[in-house]
């Protein structure tokens, strides 16, 4: 199982610790596999963009109005984290529902 996020993100580290046989892919350093961002956006829509992040608050109104996928490519830290890929099945965030589905309670 792969966890896409940031190596210094507390939530990503919690998920990595709880999910056995998982690896963290630092999206800032390593990027995302081709097509994964588009697939995640098709599934989660606007929820994929973390509008509560420091990065989001630092953007101008004009930048915020840009296409979400372009924003996520330019600013990987804008993605809500973690994005978890279990054999093609995607989960977003580390809430109770995700933890229950992945056995990370």
Domains plus CATH for the chain? 2-102 (3.40.30.10)
> What residues of the chain score a pLDDT lower than 70?
104-105
C-beta atoms surrounding 60 within 10 Å: 8
* Alpha carbon distance 79, 104 (integer Å): 21
pTM of the shown model: 0.91
Point out the residues that are catalytic.
9
- pLDDT digits 0-9 by tens, 28-54: 999 999 999 999 999 999 999 999 999
* Alpha carbon distance 63, 15 (integer Å): 31
Counting DSSP H helices and E strands in the chain, the numbers are 6, 4
Q: Would you state the pLDDT for residue 103?
A: 76
Q: Would you state the pLDDT for residue 56?
A: 95
Q: For residues 81 and 11, is the Cβ–Cβ distance under 8 A?
A: yes
Q: Would you state the pLDDT for residue 104?
A: 61
């Amino acid at each position: 199982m792969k966890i896409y996020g940031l190596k210094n993100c507390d939530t990503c580290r919690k998920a990595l610790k709880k999910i056995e046989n998982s690896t963290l892919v630092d999206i800032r350093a390593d990027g995302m596999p081709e097509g994964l961002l588009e697939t995640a956006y098709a599934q989660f829509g606007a929820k994929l963009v973390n509008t509560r992040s420091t990065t989001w608050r630092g953007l101008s109104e004009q930048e915020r109005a840009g296409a979400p996928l372009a924003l996520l490519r330019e600013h990987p830290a804008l993605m809500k984290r973690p994005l978890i890929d279990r054999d093609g099945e995607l989960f977003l965030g580390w809430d109770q529902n995700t933890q229950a589905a992945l056995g990370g309670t």
